[in-house]
Structure 1
């Protein structure tokens, strides 16, 4: 069974947390073995002309590469990294922490835990103040 439907469900939580203003941060982590790519961090960035985009920062052993994508495009960019090389995606919100996880047999699950962060990201707070969300 493919884990894509469960990752899609996880991504709906990401979109919902942005829309509701509870998003704190998103990280892809826990690589398989020793890989060049260590983490991917996703955070919202305000645009000068209004609106926002997502900054996707890929952290390698020797460098960081940043790219910018819409919420819809970010899904297509990030999904291929699941299972190669990442086993975990962690969404931190002010309501709860949501973890997408692949086990050794590559069976996906979503786990919800108490929130790590009390405040949304600075950009999300600014978007709320400007009435964007």
Structure 2
């Protein structure tokens, strides 16, 4: 995968946003063709004080949610890049970071002004509790 090095850099930004308590949301979007799987959303969750990431796969007719560690989530999302998703969007309170695959499947990272003013509720709770 020629784009994995760029995706790794993108994933470092995801981990930084979690560590710095400014993570708002993460979405995989822009599929190749008409697919059953439409989007994947990643949000942090605390289950009995234990941090994990909720990965919600939205299909045409249903949604399937699963819970994973940061490393497991990385492997899941990487497996969906280029089949069927071309874009991963990380929203933080500092900026929006987009990982894109072009037609030649070369990955690029684009940084833009932030869409969200507040981090996710779970991230704010973690900051408050010092987790």
State whether TM-score is above 0.5. Answer: yes
Tell me the residue number matched to 2:97: 98
| Structure 2 partner of 1:13 | 13
Secondary structure at the counterpart of residue 17 of structure 1: helix
Q: Aligned partners of 1:51 and 1:96: how far apart in 2?
A: 27
Q: Kindly report the root-mean-square deviation, in angstroms, between the aligned alpha carbons of the 2 structures.
A: 0.8
SS class of match (1:2): coil
Paired residue for 1:36?
Answer: 36
Q: In the aligned structure 2, how far is the partner of 1:107 from the partner of 1:95?
A: 26
In structure 1, what is the equivalent of residue 123 of structure 2? 124
Give the C-alpha shift of residue 51 in structure 1: 2.8
CA deviations 1:7-33 (Å, max 9, x no partner) are 011000000000000000000000000
How far residue 77 of structure 1 moved from its aligned partner, in angstroms, is 1.1
SS at match of 2:105: coil
Question: Hey, what's the Cα distance between the residues in 1 that align with 2:86 and 2:24?
Answer: 21
Residues in 1 aligned to 2:100 and 2:9: alpha-carbon distance in whole angstroms: 12
- Extract unaligned runs of 5+ from structure 2: none
Aligned residues: 131
